[in-house]
Structure 1
Amino acid sequence: MKTIVHILYSGLGGHGSDFFSLVSGDTAGEYHHTAIFCGVEPMRQGYGEECNRLGVPFTYVKKKQGADLGFYVRLGKEIKRASPDVLLVYGLSFLPSAVLYKKLRRRVPLLVRDTQAHHLKAKADWYWLKMAFRFADRIVVLSGESANYLTEKFKGRAVAKIIVIPNGIDTDKYKPLTTGHAQVRTLGMQSRLQVIKDHPVLLQAFAEVHRQHSGLKLEIAGDGPTMQNLQSITSGLSLSNVVRFHGMLPENELIGFMHSLDLYIHATFGEMMSTSIMQAMACGLPVIASDVWGVNNMITDGQDGLLYQSGNAADLAGRINLLLSDDALRVRLANAARETAVNRFSKQVLFNRYKELFGQ
């Protein structure tokens, strides 16, 4: 049985959800999976609990803030200890250790997932991606648009390494709690709180809608560097009594969070492919999201969700008001969202695509 070693981020973000969806999609136990969680943030407690539930051995390699060469040494030792038949790297910054192991053990395929929106990449990210094209066997991207962009940028023989595999989730776990959405009382969003997410516009739009619909509440799940600023904006808009920040939620509470919502909103400046949106769609929620790369390839506007002009609070408020006033549209979008999630984003579809890579 092949051992697949997964190297992923230890904190809140899409890596954990992607990893657990892939592993849980291996329902027949065709591979032995091992996880190495890495990062500045402590490993989330829920990650360890889910690994134990799935019978996946795991370890955590801490990285110090800033330059930390020792981190790559420690990560390299953990990779060697795991003795992989296939290396699957979820974060570009983890590449040096994986590449070194690859050079020492040439028989081991190195697969790299590139899941950050290209227009949001820093200079260092492009450096790591260039390294990936040189040393990795395959580069997994989440959409055809992403593949086309990289093909234009890198050209040459390296582009043959690109393969498109969208993310997936457990649609049996993320599923509607009830049928229908008779009345909207609670809006919400779940993500890491960081500058590439546009929570300020979400708060501004909610303030506008709340003036007309005072019974509404806004629930925000997630943690990150912009938390304090967002709480300050909330206070300045006099919304502290109707906006609640939940912080980081373990997956079992996140499912409950999604079930508590009547309408899901995802305000962002860009994604590669949003796990949070997939989860909301799978839970049968009507979704309103920014019309940006990594979102508009998941949602067809007016068919299984609504898109609004990114950064435009008035446009977002208008979309929210539309769904508040049109029950039939809200229910139709919710049902279509669930159907899209099952047909395109299930863990079974995800695993079958990766299985093709593992077997090559």
Structure 2
Amino acid sequence: MRREENIKPKMCFVLPEKAEDTATHFAHKWELIKELRNEVEFYTYAATGMDLLRVISARFRGVRTYYVHYSFKGALIAWFVTVLFGGKVFYWNCGMPWLYKRGLIEEYVFQFILCHVFLVTATDGLANEYTEHYGLNKKNIRVVPNYIRVSRVGNKTKKEARRELGLGQDKKIVLFLHHLSRRKGADLLPEIIQTFQNKGDVLFVIVGDGPERKNIELQASRFKVQDCVRFEGKIPNNKIASYFAAADVYLMPSEEEGMPNALLEAMAAGVPFVASDVAAVREMTPPMTHEFVLPYGDINQFSEKIEKLLADEELRKRISTEEQEWVGRYDVSIIARKFLELLKEETI
């Protein structure tokens, strides 16, 4: 007779999209699934089309625990199934959604989800923010930090990466790798870049796409800084290690974040950063770097701190060492243990 302890627990894992070669942070969810595949039987679906029906059918295959990443549709269907047939729904949301207006129906649905499932977010500070803004019961919030596969990022030398990408070995490279939207501070890039237009050895490499791209290109032309910028477009997450390895500084001037994977990736690559002081940025980074965690929108401070880092190679090396020691705590192999605790909770 098969012993009960050898039976894998089951989880239905619902993502907004199912592509493993995505350019989004969803790629890291596949790293978690791979990390735990010998311990958990995952039913992984996208929150679209026929997969939504499979979310329902998973309950009849013995699944009692649902984990939904951002999707409203996925969360509502999982909630409905567990109300009828028992089970538990964990809903991941990690950001600053209270900053942005939604339509009345969309906002109602979002808050309904938050009040009827278990919210999972990345840090204690964010858990407190959700509690304050939405009146949630802290007993219904779980904290599981974001994670990356650290070894996948920091495995190339700067020289190799620049040769591969066709970037000059003599350039000082500032990397922006994010969605080109106002939420991610992309609209601030032209002004920041303009402050370096007379420094011929500084190159801003912009990786990503989004609604602000045309505006950035127009402003770069207007400010006559086209020679200081290189646009790379959207790059699959499994190809970004070379960009971090090639960079001297990572720039993240976001208006809104949660616990950004891109910042974890920068630290794993040992790239000093200049970032907005929003959401979990200060919580997730080593104290040594907090001089470079700045008020959102302060162009002068961002420019000054970028220049300080570019001018001081020894400082960059010290920060790089500190970052790489620090970021190990967010490796998927460690956070997977925390995630596994969700499955150990008694279902309804």
Amino acid aligned to 1:296:
R
**1:199 maps to which of 177, 186, 192:** 186
Contact 2:92–2:121 at 8 Å: present in 1 too? yes
Contact 2:268–2:323 at 8 Å: present in 1 too? yes
CA 118–334 in structure 1, closer or farther in 2 if over 3 Å, else same? same
2:166 alignment counterpart: none
Contact 1:193–1:226 at 8 Å: present in 2 too? yes
CA 337–304 in structure 1, closer or farther in 2 if over 3 Å, else same? farther
1:307 maps onto 2:286 in alignment: no
CA 90–122 in structure 1, closer or farther in 2 if over 3 Å, else same? farther
Displacement of 1:79 after TM fit? 0.7
The whole-number CA distance in structure 2 between the counterparts of 1:335 and 1:184 is: 22
**2:141 maps to which of 162, 165, 168:** 162
CA 8–144 in structure 1, closer or farther in 2 if over 3 Å, else same? same
1:7 maps onto 2:14 in alignment: yes
1:90 alignment counterpart: 69
The whole-number CA distance in structure 2 between the counterparts of 1:146 and 1:304 is: 18
Contact 2:206–2:232 at 8 Å: present in 1 too? yes
1:35 maps onto 2:44 in alignment: yes
1:134 maps onto 2:120 in alignment: no
* Matching of residues 279-290 of structure 1 within 5 Å: 279-290=265-276
Higher mean displacement: 74-83 or 191-200: 74-83
Displacement of 1:85 after TM fit? 3.5
- 1:302-341 per-residue CA deviation (whole Å, 9 max, x = no partner) reads 4477222211211111001111222221111111111111
- 1:283-311 per-residue CA deviation (whole Å, 9 max, x = no partner) reads 11111111222322223454477222211
What TM-score results when the alignment is normalised by the length of structure 1?
0.81
Displacement of 1:154 after TM fit? 4.6
Contact 1:301–1:307 at 8 Å: present in 2 too? no
Contact 1:8–1:37 at 8 Å: present in 2 too? yes
1:143 alignment counterpart: 123
- 1:38-94 per-residue CA deviation (whole Å, 9 max, x = no partner) reads 4xxxxxxxxxxxxxxxxxxxxxx25xxxxxxxxxxx453121244433211111423
SS at 2:282 equivalent: coil
SS at 1:241 equivalent: helix
1:76 alignment counterpart: 52
Displacement of 1:281 after TM fit? 0.6
The whole-number CA distance in structure 2 between the counterparts of 1:358 and 1:104 is: 20
* Matching of residues 345-360 of structure 1 within 5 Å: 345-360=330-345
The whole-number CA distance in structure 2 between the counterparts of 1:165 and 1:33 is: 18
Higher mean displacement: 123-132 or 86-95: 123-132
The whole-number CA distance in structure 2 between the counterparts of 1:198 and 1:155 is: 29
CA 5–206 in structure 1, closer or farther in 2 if over 3 Å, else same? same
Higher mean displacement: 300-309 or 234-243: 300-309
Higher mean displacement: 90-99 or 158-167: 90-99
Contact 2:95–2:279 at 8 Å: present in 1 too? no
The whole-number CA distance in structure 2 between the counterparts of 1:357 and 1:268 is: 30
Structure 2: gaps of 5 or more residues: 1-7, 160-168
1:332 alignment counterpart: 318
Report the number of matched residues: 319
The whole-number CA distance in structure 1 between the counterparts of 2:273 and 2:340 is: 31
Amino acid aligned to 2:120:
V
The whole-number CA distance in structure 2 between the counterparts of 1:252 and 1:126 is: 34
The whole-number CA distance in structure 1 between the counterparts of 2:77 and 2:135 is: 26
The whole-number CA distance in structure 2 between the counterparts of 1:336 and 1:183 is: 25
CA 128–184 in structure 1, closer or farther in 2 if over 3 Å, else same? farther
SS at 1:297 equivalent: helix
The percent of aligned pairs where both chains have the same amino acid is 19
What TM-score results when the alignment is normalised by the length of structure 2?
0.83
1:173 alignment counterpart: 152
The whole-number CA distance in structure 2 between the counterparts of 1:114 and 1:18 is: 15
Amino acid aligned to 2:30:
F
Contact 1:221–1:245 at 8 Å: present in 2 too? yes
Larger helix share, 1 or 2: 2
